[in-house]
Structure 1
Amino acid sequence: MRTLLFSLLTVTALLGTGQSQAQQTPAAVTDSAAAPIVPLATGAATDVIVRTNGDELPARVLRITPQLVRYLPLPPATDSLGRATAADTLQLAAADVFMVRFANGTREVLRATSAPAPGTSLVGLSTAQRTALGRQDSRKYYKPDKGVFWGTFGATVATFYGGPIVGGAIALTPPKRYNLDAPQPDLLNDPAYYDGYRRQAQSRKLGKAAAGLGLGAGTLVVLTSVLFVILLSSTTHF
């Protein structure tokens, strides 16, 4: 009797396990059927064109010239059946493009050639010529503040090591635009002229600081020598 009862319990357990597995099978089929719905990567490389107004345009860049950026739009156009069609090559003016981020992680920043400021004597000059004129005018008209020289001189005489620190801090600070004393303030609106003028002005500041450091060091040596002679004379008299 016990053997019969044990056999019935075993059969019941096996039947319950079979039903449980049969109920789980449709769920597995449903999951596998849903998997193809996930969009797959196409593998197409995507570049990004960043325009000067901040807009980002996904594309495949074909060519960059000083005047134009040629590209294919992304995603590609499709027909009524959803099939990709041949896309027309589009182009943007290089002046309207700030940067191109390529799919491989590299970047190329486009800088349009600056035009001379209108209504000035710079019209007709190249970028290099406008920069050179800015340097020339800076040597002629820019006068560094007297504090550049005397500040470095005083710091050198006072502590010696303070001279290079103070002088370096002053010289490495770019001069303010309102202190440049250009012969025509409107000329500073031209990027090339302004760059040449400002760089030369900072070089002159550096020269003044170096002169203050040199004179301060020389003065400190003289003062030290005089004090040494005085002390030596006093010791000799005793």
Structure 2
Amino acid sequence: MRLFLLTYLLLCSALRAQAQDTILRRNGDEIKVHVLAITPTEVSYVPSTEPPSSDTLFMQAAEVFLIRYANGTKELISKPESASVLGRTPEEMTTQGREDARKHFKAPGAFWGTFGATAISIPVLGGLGGVAAGAAIAASPPNDKNLIVPDKTLLNDPNYARGYEKQAQRKKLGNAAAGFGVGLISGAAIWITIALANTTHF
């Protein structure tokens, strides 16, 4: 029962960590917030902090490139440079985004989160806790802090950003699947060892 409760709490924590909005500024900075309102001139928000803050802050809309909401939807605030300005077609920018994600995107949390949930849930759920945790982690949008790119301004191009994020999502799914497989094997070995050790005491 304790293991089931721990698995449930881990899953809730993973989901709670995603339940916040993200402001992506034009200079590449990312801020975790709860967006309150958007006007043509400014964005009002409450910073996402521990302990929670009740202070309402404001940012000039011209400084904001994009807002990613907690439910995964996005809203473009400032018009980005077009692909033609960068001298590349939309298809070329999408392809470059995918290639850069393959090279630079890292999502260790997808592996280790699924690994841990799988290993500890083996005695009670046969490792199915890892399936639930892995599915939740893999389905969530890539964390903005993990969007590592050679040049942050490339994210101002929607075609590049779309290609990068789609490939990043695939890598997250692959990492979660790997975490489940390794967690299932390692966890089973650990629990079998514990069971055998307890048996020898009788």
TM-score (norm 2): 0.52
State which structure, 1 or 2, has the greater radius of gyration over its C-alpha atoms: 1
- TM-aligned CA deviation for residue 154 of structure 1: 1.1
Tell me which of 151, 163, 173 is aligned to 2:113. 151
The answer to whether the 8 Å contact 2:119/2:188 transfers is no
In structure 1, the residue matched to 2:104 is 141
Cα distance, 1:234–1:174 mapped onto 2, change above 3 Å: same
In structure 2, the residue matched to 1:214 is 181
Alignment of 1:188 with 2:170, yes or no, is: no
1:103-141: per-residue Cα shift (whole Å, max 9, x none)?
xxxxxxxxxxx94062x4xx1x33222211110011111
The answer to whether the 8 Å contact 1:136/1:197 transfers is yes
- Secondary structure of 2:188's counterpart equals helix
| C-alpha distance in structure 1 between counterparts of 2:113 and 2:146, whole Å | 18
Alignment of 1:223 with 2:186, yes or no, is: no
Cα distance, 1:172–1:232 mapped onto 2, change above 3 Å: same
The answer to whether the 8 Å contact 1:156/1:216 transfers is yes
1:44-101: per-residue Cα shift (whole Å, max 9, x none)?
xxxxxxxxxxxxxxxxxxxxxxxxxxxxxxxxxxxxxxxxxxxxxxxxxxxxxxxxxx
- TM-aligned CA deviation for residue 203 of structure 1: 1.1
Identity of aligned residues (%): 40
1:162-210: per-residue Cα shift (whole Å, max 9, x none)?
1111111111111144431111111111111111101111111111111
The answer to whether the 8 Å contact 1:148/1:170 transfers is yes
| C-alpha distance in structure 1 between counterparts of 2:89 and 2:83, whole Å | 8
- TM-aligned CA deviation for residue 213 of structure 1: 0.9
Q: Structure 1: any 5+ residue segments left out of the alignment? A: 1-113
The answer to whether the 8 Å contact 2:130/2:180 transfers is yes
Listed as ranges, the matches of 1:17-166 within 5 Å are 115-116=82-83, 118=85, 120=86, 123=87, 125-144=88-107, 146-159=108-121, 160-166=127-133
| C-alpha distance in structure 2 between counterparts of 1:117 and 1:181, whole Å | 23
Q: Structure 2: any 5+ residue segments left out of the alignment? A: 1-80, 122-126
| C-alpha distance in structure 2 between counterparts of 1:177 and 1:231, whole Å | 45
| C-alpha distance in structure 1 between counterparts of 2:90 and 2:104, whole Å | 21
Aligned CA RMSD, in angstroms, stands at: 2.2
In structure 2, the residue matched to 1:197 is 164
| C-alpha distance in structure 2 between counterparts of 1:232 and 1:220, whole Å | 18
Cα distance, 1:190–1:223 mapped onto 2, change above 3 Å: same
| C-alpha distance in structure 2 between counterparts of 1:221 and 1:178, whole Å | 33
In structure 2, the residue matched to 1:75 is none
| C-alpha distance in structure 1 between counterparts of 2:201 and 2:145, whole Å | 55
Cα distance, 1:226–1:196 mapped onto 2, change above 3 Å: same
